[in-house]
Amino acid sequence: MKQAKTLTAQELRHALGQAALSRHAARDKAMLLLTHLAGMRVGEVAALRVGDVLDAEGNVKGELRLGAVTDRRIGASW
């Protein structure tokens, strides 16, 4: 199996800089870091809900437990 291509430190800094310019900068940077640092797939990040990340007091949880992520290809032609 081929190794997935990852961003270099310079590419990550550039991507974070671009994300900082977006309307939803905090969200976009968090999503980028989850994929890069935690190794989460895009579908896993997209499936996250606030309750998956924050506890009842609003603190970030120490770990995430991911369930099955469904592939929603609505209208796909393949």
Q: What is the pLDDT of residues 29-58, one digit of tens each?
A: 999 999 998 888 899 999 998 898 899 999
- Domain assignment present for residue 69? The answer is no
Q: Which domain holds residue 26?
A: 9-53
- Domain assignment present for residue 26? The answer is yes
Choice between 76 and 34, residue whose per-residue pLDDT is larger? 34
Cα 39 to chain centroid, rounded: 8
CB 63 within 8 A of CB 52: no
Region label for 30, one of left (φ > 0), alpha (ψ between -120 and 50) or beta (otherwise): alpha
- pTM over 0.85, yes/no: no
- Domain assignment present for residue 36? The answer is yes
Q: How confident is the model at residue 76 (pLDDT cuts 50, 70, 90)?
A: very low
Euclidean distance between CA atoms 10 and 32, whole angstroms:
14
Q: How confident is the model at residue 69 (pLDDT cuts 50, 70, 90)?
A: low
Q: How many domains is the chain built from?
A: 1
Phi, psi values for residue 60, rounded to 5°: -70, 130
- Domain assignment present for residue 61? The answer is no
